[in-house]
Amino acid sequence: MGLKLVMYKVLVVVLVLLCSWVSGGTASVSYDSKAIIVNGQRRILISGSIHYPRSTPEMWPDLIQKAKEGGLDVIQTYVFWNGHEPQPGKYYFGGRYDLVKFISLVKQAGLYVHLRIGPYACAEWNFGGFPVWLKYVPGISFRTDNGPFKAAMQKFTTKIVNMMKVNKLYESQGGPIILSQIENEYGPMEYELGAPGRAYSKWAAQMAVGLRTGVPWVMCKQDDAPDPIINTCNGFYCDYFSPNKAYKPKIWTEAWTGWFTEFGGPVPSRPAEDLAFSVARFIQKGGSFINYYMYHGGTNFGRTAGGPFITTSYDYDAPLDEFGLLRQPKWGHLKDLHRAIKLCEPALVSGDSTVTPLGNYQEAHVFKSKSGACAAFLANYNSHSFAKVAFRNMHYNLPPWSISILPDCKNTVYNTARVGAQSAQMKMSPVRGGFSWQSYNEETASYDENSFTMVGLLEQINTTRDASDYLWYTTDVKIDRNEGFLKSGKWPVLSVLSAGHALHVFINGQLSGTIYGSLEYPKLTFSKGVNLRAGFNKITLLSIALGLPNIGPHFETWNAGVLGPVSLYGLNEGKRDLSWQKWTYKIGLKGEALGLHSLSGSSSVEWIEGLSVAQKQPLTWYKTTFNAPAGNEPLALDMNSMGKGQVWINGESIGRYWPGYKASGSCGACSYAGYFSEKKCLSNCGEASQRWYHVPRSWLNPTGNLLVVFEEWGGNPSGISLVKREVQSVCADIYEWQPTLVNWQLQSSGKVNKPLRPKAHLWCAPGQKISSIKFASFGTPEGVCGSYREGSCHAHHSYDAFYKYCIGQQSCSVTVAPAMFGGDPCPSVMKKLSVEAICG
């Protein structure tokens, strides 16, 4: 062999090695600047987050199927460390935490998985996913260049990776996992921490890559992610984002479909038109992987909600609602978007793109491949006005803040602001109320052998280790007979400073006041005149934690509970500081220790029945039994008549409830056009932040289900009812000549050679039928689904076709053409059809 040949061969080997290193291993999954490459093919991949513990295993197949029907290729989830390792070295992978089962179901459905091992998750999950015991590992400091933390992180990450390998779940082994994630949004932390932050993120990257999963890793919001890790974007918009190396693909790991709700806050939602617009913007700028965070948000069962103050519902305004039902039109509008994008895939993954301005706020993004594929995106960024643009000798009308997709560079099949999918109004119909309740009074600070006395005030989390939300603090206060206030009647003022999150103050067993904070301000100050008597008085504080923080620099060090000072003002001596007295502590409630939420525990005490059942009384346990309602609609408890507490069914915790905390904020009209933020489209102001609490069907037996409620504030249990969630009505809002993919397919197949009218499609849920038409108007109707009204132009026969084709049917379609509604009511005006049909 000549020297040249040897050198050539060496060069080839080096190049191959280099390429495979850059593209994340020698696996069947790699990447280049354009896309993730699966089995040799560049792919435009649509992904959605479904967090397995936020639903039940019985719900998983249906959620995954609906995700697939919605046009998803990938399911993304975090791995929830605190669920899997509740105690050091004691692992749990059963029930809602059966990760292997979840991933296997995704595989069975023919979808891929993006596994975000973290193990830091954030996710509004208790402690961001870290087990509380981790905080007590000697010398630990979270998410930085710290030996004990890195050792624990490596151990858990390796455990998960090995588990995936043993079950052959990586794509390189024929499994569904095509991507992984290490850490989560570490960039901002690294910036704050400086050198140790940089050392840690480098270490994390190397540690992950060293696990040889055979599929690429990402780091989200991490601009300096070291090769071969791909840095990715999270946000409401990510079109501006570029990866840190030219040979990495542009990935959006969290396209926020809405936002989370906190107790005391209004409920956010994000218009489908704006979400679709943001996705189309990302694709037209060369993006090739989008993950909806969340696609199904689900429920923070038990005490899994983080924050603090995150609601039990993690609905997120996601395309699948908390209960697993389609949220329309969001689900359908995105499904249509995905089909339009997939039609462009050949041009997107192999083509070069050019951008041409079409006006001040308009541009065309054109992708052309060598094989002749051409796809175009025509964008109008103006959030106020329509734009008429010329593109390749044709004219296109672009609604404000929208993108039209032309998979053949000629015909529009989709516009992000023109929703062809139906909308649906949901209702919560009572199926059972008037439960016959029994009650049991939780004693105020029932101290027992587990209580202990110390000098001074203790931090709550260090004391409870998060075994319960509740920590009792009690101290004695001796009041001398000669105290002036005993004669003047001017009560001394008790002042209590607490690090959070809620507090009840009892004087001699009587509730004297309740205060609580918020996600933004968890700290509390109680200050009130208190009725003390001569001799010994008991001051009892019940401090309540509402989920541990999940985000922020060193959130593991944030305190909760009564840290003081605790003082009495207005005594003869002036102020008396109680902070350094002896305090007696008890972790948790007596009812918790007795296991009153469970079948066996609840029968261990005497409950009060009938007319003497406690009403509006703080610290009360309630129980009842009921039979499962027929049908398979999702169920919920309407807790609006209650204040604050927790609820269980057959021993399973539904979560914390708090309808007594009313949402404050500014709710109002919401336009899809213009940049969205989580503060933009809010509802429920002045009402409970969360009224309904999901009861998974699979937790019920046919008869004799035990429902247990612990009420802290005092509520009216006779107002509690079980409701089912179902479709109340469906609506369509279709413009005449609105482009549709189906019509384009008919035309491009040559079957039809004239312009086609769109159709309005209406579907009620399986088992339902359209019982009446609440509204129909072809012309210039106004309003939204649920509250349409006629505009100045209205075709008088607007209802006829719907009466004829829809009543008594589960679904129907009507062509949006003047002839269907008795002729054109206002020629030369742009018209649309709005229709609302009642399902029953």
Q: Which residues bind ligand GAL (CB under 6 A)?
A: 121-124, 184-185, 234, 254, 260
Beta carbon nearer to ligand GAL, 48 or 332: 48
- Residue 723 C-beta: closest distance to ligand GAL, Å: 27
Catalytic annotation, pick one of 185, 483, 687, 736: 185
Q: Is 319 left (phi over 0), alpha (psi -120 to 50) or beta?
A: alpha
To the nearest whole angstrom, how small is the minimum distance from the Cβ of residue 119 to ligand GAL?
13
Distances (CA, A) of 270 to 264, 283, 729, 734: 19, 19, 21, 20
Q: How far is the CB of 306 from ligand GAL (least distance, A)?
A: 9
**Distance in Å, CB of 121 to ligand GAL, minimum:** 6
DSSP H or E segment with residue 839: strand 832-839
CA distances from 660 to 434, 527, 621, 640, 645 (A): 20, 21, 17, 8, 10
Cβ nearer to ligand GAL, comparing 46 with 122? 122
Taking alpha carbons only, the member of 258, 251, 253, 257 closest to residue 283 is: 251
CB of 555 to ligand GAL, least distance (A): 12
Which of 85, 190, 254, 711 is labelled catalytic?
254
Element spanning 144, H or E: none
Output DSSP code: residue 828: T
Q: How far apart are CA 588 and CA 598, in angstroms?
A: 16
User: Which tokens go with 567?
Assistant: 């003082």
Minimum separation from the CB atom of position 124 to ligand GAL (A): 5
Contact 322, 314 (CB under 8 A): yes
Q: Which CB, 172 or 234, lies closer to ligand GAL?
A: 234
Q: What are phi and psi of 327, to 5 degrees?
A: -95, 110
Nearest residue (beta carbon) to ligand GAL = 122
Q: What is the nearest approach in angstroms of ligand GAL to the Cβ of residue 379? A: 27
d(CA 580, CA 559): 19
Instruction: Provide the 8-state DSSP code for 446.
Output: -
C-alpha–C-alpha distance, residues 256 and 456, integer Å: 45
Closest among 620, 616, 583 to 496, alpha carbons compared? 583
What pairs with residue 835 in β-bridges?
Answer: 732, 776
The verdict on whether 185 is a catalytic residue reads yes
Residue 87: burial class (beta carbons within 10 Å; 0-12, 13-18, 19+): exposed
Closest distance between ligand GAL and the C-beta of residue 254, in Å? 6
Q: State yes or no: cis peptide before 294, omega within 30 of 0.
A: yes
DSSP output for 798-811 = TTHHHHHHTTT-SE
* Amino acid type, 123: A
d(CA 57, CA 95): 7
Question: Which residue, 86, 78, 114, is CA-closest to 298?
Answer: 78
Q: Smallest distance, Å, CB 175 to ligand GAL?
A: 24
CB 535 within 8 A of CB 498: no
Q: Confirm if 514 and 503 have CB atoms less than 8 A apart.
A: yes
443 is catalytic: no
**99 or 707: CB nearest ligand GAL:** 99
Q: Which residues share a beta bridge with 591?
A: none
Residues belonging to the active site: 185, 254
